[in-house]
């Protein structure tokens, strides 16, 4: 460090109030322009990546660069260099156009930057998050003794469920890991489930082979009799079944496993019952559609993503459980440098994360601003948009492959069309809409998800045109 910088704070990192005000003003205006550019432009990236990489490489961090100029470069690159999930005609994987209250929450969280892992450091933040968790748990149908916490997303929440299930099923698991079990631990999910289960099993040291993928019934639902049969066979083989995770809204097709049948099997064999409602969980907001999730109240734990159909910014997931004490058993640790170690309130002794961001504020502000009825309107709007699309496509001779009360359609064009791969490639490269290819029950389909809160009837009609025009 040169002698003239010693003892002086860096004013590029920790800026004066005057520069802050000027850059804040610039940023708000520039983002406003970016929003209209995104709306007017392609949903898919158009940037020349070779040029972009050269520009990026030139940023060698040798000389400070004016913040405004780096902000301009970053925003204009992002305008052309992303799949725009905020665009109304992004019919992708429920990556949302975030709610405005959630954006406000991010700004506030960044300003105060509270350390949410310890209650005593951020009592207001921790209690706001807990309040949201309690209200969601009630909505699920859990008793007032239920608990939970925010996570980075659905995969972390599902991971938390498996840690809790293993810890609860065997007192020795915490110390001995997989060797605590007399045989191979087993977790059961359907073939249409979200396959992060493999990564979770790998990380937890029970091995990818512990995941039993249960066949589906031809309509994307876990086959309950196959599930029961597999659990029985595994026990006969000396394996140790631990958890059944039913999916309430499959990623591909929005199909809900039979939650009551899975719950019955879990009860009979004394297994942990988890419901992965990562995106479908938002239906809890709607009195009209919440029945789709019937049986979810019997779960030992539930995953819901705030950053999918609840449309907060990423990443924000939620883990809920009826067994609060299992979380503190699973994540207990004590250190001298932490200000406290209170399993009743401190999140670092109840969850995978240690330092954590105040992500719960996003859903809190959104729920305050719109109420459950506002979210009900949001999900019901999405469903009416997908119905409009499905009706239009069926009228044009297309087939709707999935049956779902969520806002996703798995579509198959008529035989005379170009291949599905080709069709989707054409639509995406034309840039007016974004859809994807997936496989549902072994068959290739076009997947259209209508969870974007800004979606209008005109956008749906434009997608119909895009699909039809590119199919011949």
Ligand X SMILES: *Cc1c(COP(=O)(O)O)cnc(C)c1O
Which stretch in 2-10, 98-106, 150-158, 159-167 sits in contact with ligand X by CB under 6 A?
Answer: 150-158
Which stretch in 147-155, 386-394, 409-417, 448-456 sits in contact with ligand X by CB under 6 A?
Answer: 147-155
Residue 57 has a CB neighbour count (10 Å cut-off) of: 8
Which stretch in 41-49, 247-255, 291-299, 352-360 sits in contact with ligand X by CB under 6 A?
Answer: 247-255
Q: 443-449 and 408-412 as β-strands: parallel, antiparallel, unpaired?
A: antiparallel
Closer to ligand X by Cβ: residue 95 or 471: 95
Whole-angstrom Cα distance, residue 298 to residue 265? Answer: 12
- Report residue 147 as tokens: 């608990």
- Smallest gap from residue 374 Cβ to ligand X (A): 22
- Smallest gap from residue 196 Cβ to ligand X (A): 6
Cβ-proximal residues to 237 (8 Å cutoff; 6+ apart), any chain:
183
The answer to whether 251 contacts ligand X (rule: CB under 6 A) is: yes
- Smallest gap from residue 27 Cβ to ligand X (A): 28
Residue from 84, 87, 89, 194 in contact with ligand X (CB under 6 A): 194
Closer to ligand X by Cβ: residue 173 or 197: 197
The answer to whether 247 contacts ligand X (rule: CB under 6 A) is: yes
The answer to whether 279 contacts ligand X (rule: CB under 6 A) is: yes
Which stretch in 122-130, 245-253, 373-381, 400-408 sits in contact with ligand X by CB under 6 A?
Answer: 245-253
Segment 307-346, which members bind ligand X (CB under 6 A)?
317
Which stretch in 30-38, 153-161, 373-381, 392-400 sits in contact with ligand X by CB under 6 A?
Answer: 153-161
How many angstroms separate the Cα of 351 from the Cα of each of 309, 329, 341?
23, 10, 13
**Are 375 and 417 contacting, i.e. CB atoms less than 8 angstroms apart?**
no
The answer to whether 278 contacts ligand X (rule: CB under 6 A) is: yes
Closer to ligand X by Cβ: residue 129 or 305: 305
Whole-angstrom Cα distance, residue 283 to residue 277? Answer: 9
Whole-angstrom Cα distance, residue 126 to residue 15? Answer: 29
Assign 128 to helix, strand or coil.
helix
Whole-angstrom Cα distance, residue 127 to residue 347? Answer: 11
- Smallest gap from residue 93 Cβ to ligand X (A): 7
Site string for ligand X, 399-438 (x = CB under 6 A): ----------------------------------------
Segment 370-399, which members bind ligand X (CB under 6 A)?
none
Closer to ligand X by Cβ: residue 84 or 308: 308
Closer to ligand X by Cβ: residue 199 or 426: 199
**Are 271 and 239 contacting, i.e. CB atoms less than 8 angstroms apart?**
no
Whole-angstrom Cα distance, residue 59 to residue 74? Answer: 12
Assign 121 to helix, strand or coil.
helix
Which stretch in 4-12, 35-43, 152-160, 177-185 sits in contact with ligand X by CB under 6 A?
Answer: 152-160
Closer to ligand X by Cβ: residue 118 or 136: 136
Whole-angstrom Cα distance, residue 48 to residue 54? Answer: 10
The answer to whether 153 contacts ligand X (rule: CB under 6 A) is: yes
- Smallest gap from residue 248 Cβ to ligand X (A): 8
Closer to ligand X by Cβ: residue 98 or 317: 317
The answer to whether 276 contacts ligand X (rule: CB under 6 A) is: yes
Whole-angstrom Cα distance, residue 312 to residue 273? Answer: 27
- Report residue 186 as tokens: 């087993």
The answer to whether 196 contacts ligand X (rule: CB under 6 A) is: yes
Question: At residue 436, what are phi and psi to the nearest 5 degrees?
Answer: -135, 165
DSSP letters spanning 26-81: HHHHHHHHHHHHHHHS-SS----HHHHHHHHHH--SSS---HHHHHHHHHHHHHHS
E-only strand ranges, 277-335: 301-305, 317-321
Cβ-proximal residues to 401 (8 Å cutoff; 6+ apart), any chain:
253, 410, 411, 412, 440, 441, 443, 445
- Smallest gap from residue 4 Cβ to ligand X (A): 48
The answer to whether 154 contacts ligand X (rule: CB under 6 A) is: yes
How many angstroms separate the Cα of 400 from the Cα of each of 137, 188, 334, 445?
34, 28, 54, 9
- Smallest gap from residue 315 Cβ to ligand X (A): 6
Nearest residue relative to ligand X (C-beta): 154
- Smallest gap from residue 197 Cβ to ligand X (A): 9
- Count of residues near ligand X by CB under 6 A: 14
- Smallest gap from residue 279 Cβ to ligand X (A): 5
Helix (H) or strand (E) holding 103: helix 100-112
Closer to ligand X by Cβ: residue 115 or 402: 402
Residue from 300, 305, 346, 459 in contact with ligand X (CB under 6 A): 305
List of residues contacting ligand X (CB under 6 A)? 153-155, 158, 194, 196, 247, 249, 251, 276, 278-279, 305, 317
């Amino acid at each position: 460090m040169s002698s003239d910088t010693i003892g002086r704070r860096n004013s590029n990192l920790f800026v004066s109030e005057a520069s802050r005000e000027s850059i804040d003003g610039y940023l708000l205006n520039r983002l406003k322009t970016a929003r209209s550019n995104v709306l007017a432009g392609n949903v898919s990236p158009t940037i020349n990546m070779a040029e972009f990489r050269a520009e990026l490489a030139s940023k060698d961090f040798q000389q400070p660069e004016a913040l405004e100029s780096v902000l301009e470069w970053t925003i204009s690159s992002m305008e052309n260099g992303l799949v725009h999930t905020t665009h109304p005609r992004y019919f992708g994987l429920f990556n949302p156009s975030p709610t405005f209250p959630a954006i406000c929450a991010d700004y506030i969280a960044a300003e105060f930057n509270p350390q949410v892992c310890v209650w005593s450091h951020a009592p207001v933040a921790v209690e706001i998050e807990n309040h949201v968790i309690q209200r969601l748990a009630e909505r699920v149908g859990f008793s007032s003794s239920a608990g939970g916490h925010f996570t980075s997303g659905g995969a972390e929440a599902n991971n938390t469920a498996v840690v809790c299930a293993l810890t609860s099923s065997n007192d020795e698991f915490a110390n001995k890991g997989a060797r605590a079990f007399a045989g191979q631990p087993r977790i059961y999910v359907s073939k249409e489930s979200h396959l992060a289960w493999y990564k979770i099993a790998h990380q937890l040291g029970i091995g990818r082979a512990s995941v039993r993928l249960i066949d589906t019934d031809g309509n994307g639902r876990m086959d309950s009799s196959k599930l029961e049969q597999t659990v029985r066979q595994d026990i006969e083989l000396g394996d140790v079944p631990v958890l059944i995770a039913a999916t309430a809204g499959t990623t591909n097709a929005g199909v809900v496993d039979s939650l009551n049948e899975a719950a019955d099997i879990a009860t009979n064999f004394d297994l942990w019952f988890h419901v992965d409602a990562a995106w479908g969980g938002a239906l809890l907001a709607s009195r009209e559609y919440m029945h789709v999730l019937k049986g979810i109240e019997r779960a030992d734990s539930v995953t819901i993503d705030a950053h999918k159909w609840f449309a907060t910014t990423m990443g924000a997931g939620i883990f809920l459980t009826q067994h609060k004490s299992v979380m503190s058993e699973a994540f207990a640790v004590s250190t001298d440098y932490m200000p406290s170690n209170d399993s009743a309130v401190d999140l670092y002794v109840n969850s995978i994360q240690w330092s954590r961001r105040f992500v719960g504020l996003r859903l809190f502000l959104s729920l305050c601003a719109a109420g459950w009825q506002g979210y009900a309107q949001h999900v019901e709007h999405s469903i009416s948009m997908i119905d409009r699309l499905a009706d239009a496509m069926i009228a044009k001779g297309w087939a709707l492959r999935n049956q779902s009360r969520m806002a996703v359609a798995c579509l198959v064009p008529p035989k005379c069309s170009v291949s599905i791969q080709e069709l989707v490639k054409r639509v995406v490269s034309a840039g007016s809409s974004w859809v994807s290819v997936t496989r549902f029950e072994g068959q290739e389909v076009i997947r259209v998800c209508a969870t974007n809160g800004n979606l209008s009837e005109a956008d749906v009609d434009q997608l119909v045109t895009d699909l039809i025009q590119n199919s011949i």
